[in-house]
Amino acid sequence: MTTFPAGAEEGCVTSKCHQKLIKDAKYIHGPVAAGECTVCHTPHTEGKKSQLVQEGNDLCFTCHFDIKEEIQKKFMHPALQGGCVSCHNPHGSPYRKLLSSEGEALCFQCHPQIADKLAGPNKVHAPLKSEKGCASCHSPHAGNNQKLLPGKNEMELCLECHKNVIRSSMKVLHGPIKNASCTPCHDPHGSSNRKLLMKGFPSDAYIPYTDKEYDLCFSCHKRDLVRFPDTSFATGFRDGERNLHYLHVNKKENGRNCRLCHNIHGSESPMLIAQSVAFGQWQLPLKYTKTETGGSCSPGCHKTFNYDRKSAGKAPEVRKQSESKEKQK
């Protein structure tokens, strides 16, 4: 048996009249609970839909003027074009905020493709498991960014949780990061790949290379980087025409993962070269130096390895940065 608020018992939503409007409702709209149905409805005028005192969202905005101000932002939730009642029950609901369904289940009514990503064994982005659900990353009404994201840009939102991914010392940023975007590499909702990656990327430091490995990297970079033992065009990381990417990666045993030498998000060194490389429990400093025609590295206590595209087998000439800039002028 439905229990009515005191005000409602004296109004319209009694067992004799509009009981079904708040049947099973845990949360009841304020005017209904107070028995003040005439705040929204005129009981005597005919011809108006549901006898509302105003049409559409304008009625809601007479009280919820903060939402009216919010939707003046650059992007408005398309559901608002169908009215606030697209997502809210105007009388009562089992769910907070008078939502017509609970949490992300409401969003998935219009975004089934997102629900599909979260099905089965897929990894799910942690905020979607929280109490706020989709609203952890999206404004439900309007925002100044596409996808109704809060903040200045997509990356700023991500860094609120992933604080140590980008450091102030990183002078060189990965292309997507430079464009303040994380989603070219990560799916923000769910993925069958580790780290919510858009495509596969191996977790092991040393793996046999095949043309199916590193799908994520080679969705932007050309796989020719690691295909040819000798090349004059596929990579700048070569000694003469000896392809040093091929030497490091394209091996049946102990092929090196890209992340051993490159920091994926950003680095203090050119070409996203890492400051150190993992070797067992140790972190061996790479001590990488870039030159105009090549470079060198001295991992750990090993000797210096040089490469030069013009003079194979010889240490390239190391120029001071200032001299290099003068030459470019």
Over the stretch 31-62, which tens digit does the pLDDT of each residue have?
988 888 889 988 777 666 678 888 889 999 99
Which tokens hold the place of 161?
């949780």
Residues 247-265 pLDDT 10s: 999 988 889 999 999 999 9
Which phi and psi (to 5°) does residue 282 adopt?
-95, 155
Q: Give the model's confidence band at 7: pLDDT under 50 very low, under 70 low, under 90 confident, else very high.
A: low
CA-to-CA distance for 41 and 271, rounded, in angstroms? 66
pTM score, whole prediction: 0.83
Lowest-pLDDT choice from 93-97, 102-106, 272-276 = 102-106
pLDDT tens for residues 263-311? 999 999 999 999 998 888 888 999 999 999 999 999 888 899 999 999 9
What per-residue confidence (pLDDT) applies to 47? 61
Question: To the nearest whole number, what is the mean pLDDT of the chain?
Answer: 88
Residue 1, pLDDT score = 44
What CA dihedral angle connects 15, 18, 23 and 27, to 10 degrees?
Answer: -110
Amino acid at 41: H
CA dihedral over 115, 120, 122, 127, signed as positive or negative: positive
Structure tokens at 124: 């799910």
* Residue 79 CB partners (closer than 8 Å, separation 6+): 86, 87, 110
- Neighbouring CB atoms inside 10 A of 322's CB total 8
For 48-62, 73-87, 104-118, which range has the lowest pLDDT when averaged over its residues?
Answer: 48-62
Q: What is the pLDDT of residues 189-244, one digit of tens each?
A: 999 999 999 999 999 999 999 999 999 999 999 999 999 999 999 999 999 999 99
For residue 311, what are the contacts with CB-CB under 8 A and spacing of at least 6? 240, 293
Question: Other C-beta atoms within 10 Å of 230: how many?
Answer: 11
